[in-house]
Amino acid sequence: MLPKELISSQAIARRVNELSKDIDSKLPAGPLTVVGVLRGAFMFMADLVRGIPRQQLTCDFLGVRSYGDATVSSGVVEITSDLASPIEGRHVLLIEDIADTGLTLKYLQELLLARKPASLHTCVLLAKPTLPPSIKIDFVGFEAPSAFVVGYGLDAAQLYRNLPYIGAIESTKA
């Protein structure tokens, strides 16, 4: 049985297009390094960067794990793959699939800021309304539903990433 559709592929495409334009107009001019958080943000990032009309845009990735195969965060952030290139002195846009507890996002923001970028901005596809106010997010696609969401890159035990929409599954403890 497929997950129940919560956000359609058409709504996602419209919002990603809006975000691309907003990001391009609000971020400092010039070269931009977009850092995607693997694996959940890969689809969102691919669609987003195609809409940012900068000639000097580079892409890099961070591999991170905090959920494993569970639907509840372990509370521990583990870097599984680091950036391939230095970001010192560069404008950086961090792309994340979902800001749930804010733990991973805060950790990554601190990690990247320690590497002395010229600026650091954050864009998430989904943000929970319960995020602590101390978590800074510059660009948000959608408010995250209270359900455990999958699709458009988000997964449950590595499944459902290929769905073109955001859907809900029942949460399981692991």
Q: What does the pLDDT look like over 5-54, one tens digit per residue?
A: 999 999 999 999 999 999 999 999 989 999 999 999 999 999 999 999 99
58, 161 Cβ separation under 8 angstroms: no
pLDDT at 65 over 90: no
24, 53 Cβ separation under 8 angstroms: yes
The number of CA neighbours under 13 Å toward the Cβ of 62 is: 26
pLDDT at 174 over 50: no
CA nearest neighbour of 84 among 108, 60, 64: 60
pLDDT at 73 over 70: no
Q: What is the pLDDT of residue 61?
A: 97
Sign, CA dihedral 27-18-33-125, equals positive
Catalytic positions, written as ranges: 100
pLDDT at 166 over 50: yes
Q: What is the DSSP letter of 23?
A: H
Local confidence band at 66 (pLDDT 50, 70, 90 cut-offs): confident
Of all residues in the chain, the percent with pLDDT exceeding 90 is 78
Full set of structural domains in the chain with CATH: 4-168 (3.40.50.2020)
46, 20 Cβ separation under 8 angstroms: no
Q: What is the pLDDT of residue 77?
A: 83
pTM of the model: 0.91
